[in-house]
């Protein structure tokens, strides 16, 4: 047996940058974070912001329904054939980290069906602060928290807050109503993340998802280079 | 042959998609057929001697080198529920990915080319065992044990069943798993001379019916 055999052609397993036909695969970005922090709303806003300039698709990982996929379909942010839901057996973090096979198949099926794609957004089901994506599944990950979930979350850290390539603090418009201190959240995030970027966003503001979209464009430029 | 390779393949954490499937337990819990450790044991016993036996024989036959395309057709014929055929192929495809990464093999590559969307999971399992240097008995053990460990783990999540009770159920089923493996391997050896009709065709109608109903639920925790 050749356990050190290089993966080539159809034996490509996960993170390989080339598809079996030799073409370059889409950039995959994961979005994770606690329940209700605004992951699906951010995905929807990103689709609206990027769909005219990029070929993109979305994989959702709902915990026990197809709600997130159906929200995106209802909002018509993308044609239905560009949205796929993966079922996760009550453990969303398992499907994005420990056993990524169903998500990889969803991504590859989307590329086969509607490709070539520039970007696939993989949205995790709402989970806890330790949920992170496997490097075998995504090239970069965004962790979405919100000001109403408690302004001590950046201070508490955890793998999502500390290591995500981009931390999004969502619903900043609610800060005055829930008594969250945005300056303190920014300082705590800086302390946890050093140079890694943080975006404070309100999808209800005029800027909306623009900062996150700009970050995604920069990742895409680096991926295509 | 490496005994440890069997542990790798049989490990519940082997990344082949099983965690998202309940083996019919979710439908049985909702219907009230599983409500605690005793009824979980009954459910697992039924599944072991039906779907488990068929899976064990298919896996053993694949590990013996029987044509996997013929075995895949035999698996189709033994799975009346379309929802279960879809689930079986999905899991086969996921297992294929993990197996090819773990034990690269020309036979696995060929089966992957033949069934790009997935062959039935027990067939892939048997070929994976073969690629890992394991024999038909090992393959049958993986299949038979999986047929009960999946529902037991799922029931812990579905009913908040005491995990020690669920593990106790599996431990007490062990002698029956041994017997099912013996029967499955014996049938698989007969396939060499008699063809795939020598494979058992034990069926559990409630599992098939439950799977069809489950596939239509709007809200569920498990994919099957």
Q: Residue B74: which CATH number? A: 1.10.4190.10
- A94/B157 touch (CB, cutoff 8 Å), yes or no: no
What was the pLDDT predicted at A14? 67
Q: Using CB atoms within 10 A of its CB, is residue B39 exposed (0-12), middle (13-18) or buried (19+)?
A: middle
- B104/A99 touch (CB, cutoff 8 Å), yes or no: no
Q: A207 — contact with chain B (CB < 8 Å)?
A: no
Shortest distance, CA A87 to any CA of chain B (angstroms): 6
Contacts of B112 in chain A (CB under 8 A): 10-11
Render A138-180 in DSSP notation, one character per residue: -SEEEEEEEGGG-TTHHHH--HHHHH-SEEEEE-GGGHHHHT-
Cβ A87 vs Cβ B18: under 8 Å: no
Fill in the DSSP letter of residue A125.
P
Residue B220 falls inside a structural domain: no
Residue B2 falls inside a structural domain: no
- A3/B100 touch (CB, cutoff 8 Å), yes or no: no
Of B13, B101, B223, the CB nearest to A89: B223
Contacts of A10 in chain B (CB under 8 A): 109, 112-113
Kindly give the residue spans of alpha helices, DSSP state H, lying in chain A: 39-50, 67-74, 92-93, 101-114, 153-156, 159-163, 175-178, 182-193, 210-224
**What range does the domain containing B207 cover?**
18-215
Residues of chain A with pLDDT under 50: 1-2, 4-12
3-state secondary structure of B78: coil
- For each successive 10 residues of chain B (224 residues), what is the average pLDDT? 91 93 97 97 98 98 98 97 97 97 96 96 98 98 98 95 96 98 98 97 96 93 93
- pLDDT tens for residues A160-174? 999 999 999 999 999
Residue B224 falls inside a structural domain: no
Residue B176 falls inside a structural domain: yes
Number of Cβ atoms within 10 Å of the Cβ of A190 = 13
- B104/A90 touch (CB, cutoff 8 Å), yes or no: no
Cβ A115 vs Cβ A26: under 8 Å: yes
The reply to whether omega before A116 is within 30° of 0 (cis) is yes
Non-local CB neighbours of A208 within 8 Å, separated by 6+ positions: A45, A49, A201, A202
Q: How many domains does chain B have?
A: 1
Largest CA distance in chain A: 63
Extract the tokens encoding A7: 């993966």
Which structural domains are found in chain A, ordered by start? 24-224 (3.40.50.300)
pTM over 0.95: no
Nearest to B206 by CA among B45, B40, B88, B47: B47
Q: What is the ipTM of this complex?
A: 0.86
Of B21, B109, B157, the CB nearest to A11: B109
Residue B186 falls inside a structural domain: yes
The angle subtended at Cα B53 by Cα B38 and Cα B5, nearest 5°, is 95
Q: What is the mean pLDDT of chain A?
A: 89
Rounded to the nearest 5°, which phi and psi values hold at B53? -65, -45
Residue B9 falls inside a structural domain: no
d(CA A16, CA A10): 11
Q: Is A36 annotated as a binding residue?
A: yes
Shortest distance, CA B138 to any CA of chain A (angstroms): 18
Residue B1 falls inside a structural domain: no
Cβ B157 vs Cβ B221: under 8 Å: yes
Looking up tokens 């005219």, which residue turns up? A52
Residue B208 falls inside a structural domain: yes
3-state secondary structure of A184: helix
């Amino acid at each position: 047996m050749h356990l050190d055999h290089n993966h080539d052609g159809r034996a490509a397993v996960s993170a390989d940058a080339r598809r079996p036909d030799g073409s370059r695969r889409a950039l995959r970005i994961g979005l994770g974070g606690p329940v209700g922090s605004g992951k699906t709303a951010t995905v929807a806003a990103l689709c609206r912001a990027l769909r005219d300039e990029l070929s993109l698709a979305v994989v959702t990982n709902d915990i026990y329904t197809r709600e997130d996929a159906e929200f995106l379909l209802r909002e018509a942010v993308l044609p239905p054939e560009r949205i796929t839901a993966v079922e996760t057996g009550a453990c969303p973090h398992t499907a994005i980290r420990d056993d990524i096979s169903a998500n990889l198949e969803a991504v590859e099926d989307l590329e086969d069906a509607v490709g070539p794609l520039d970007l696939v957004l993989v949205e995790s089901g709402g989970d806890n602060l330790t949920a992170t994506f496997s490097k075998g599944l995504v090239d970069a990950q965004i962790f979405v928290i919100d000001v109403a979930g408690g302004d001590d979350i950046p201070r508490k850290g955890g793998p999502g807050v500390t290591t995500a390539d981009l931390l999004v603090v969502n619903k900043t418009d609610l800060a005055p109503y829930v008594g969250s201190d945005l300056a303190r959240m920014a300082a705590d995030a800086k302390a946890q993340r050093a140079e890694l970027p943080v975006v404070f966003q309100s999808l209800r503001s005029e800027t909306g998802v623009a900062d996150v979209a700009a970050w995604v464009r920069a990742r895409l430029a680096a991926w295509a280079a | 042959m490496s005994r440890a390779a069997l542990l790798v393949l049989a490990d519940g954490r082997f990344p082949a998609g099983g965690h998202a499937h309940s083996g019919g337990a979710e439908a049985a819990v909702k219907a009230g057929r599983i409500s605690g450790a005793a009824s979980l044991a009954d459910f697992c016993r039924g599944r072991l001697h039906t779907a488990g036996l068929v899976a064990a024989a298919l896996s053993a036959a694949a590990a013996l080198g029987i044509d996997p395309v013929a075995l895949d057709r035999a698996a189709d014929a033994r799975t009346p529920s379309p929802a279960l055929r879809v689930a079986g192929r999905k899991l086969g495809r996921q297992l294929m990915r993990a197996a090819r990464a773990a034990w690269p093999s020309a036979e696995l590559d060929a089966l992957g080319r033949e069934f790009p969307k997935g062959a039935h999971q027990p067939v892939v399992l048997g070929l994976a065992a073969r690629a890992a240097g394991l024999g038909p008995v090992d393959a049958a053990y993986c299949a038979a044990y999986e047929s009960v460990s999946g529902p037991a783990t799922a029931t812990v999540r579905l009913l908040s069943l005491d995990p020690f009770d669920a593990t106790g159920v599996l431990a007490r089923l062990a002698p029956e798993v041994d017997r099912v493996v013996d029967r499955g391997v014996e049938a698989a050896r007969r396939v060499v001379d008699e063809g795939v009709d020598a494979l058992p065709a034990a069926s559990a109608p409630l599992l098939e019916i439950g799977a069809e109903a489950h596939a239509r639920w709007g809200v569920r925790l498990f994919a099957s």
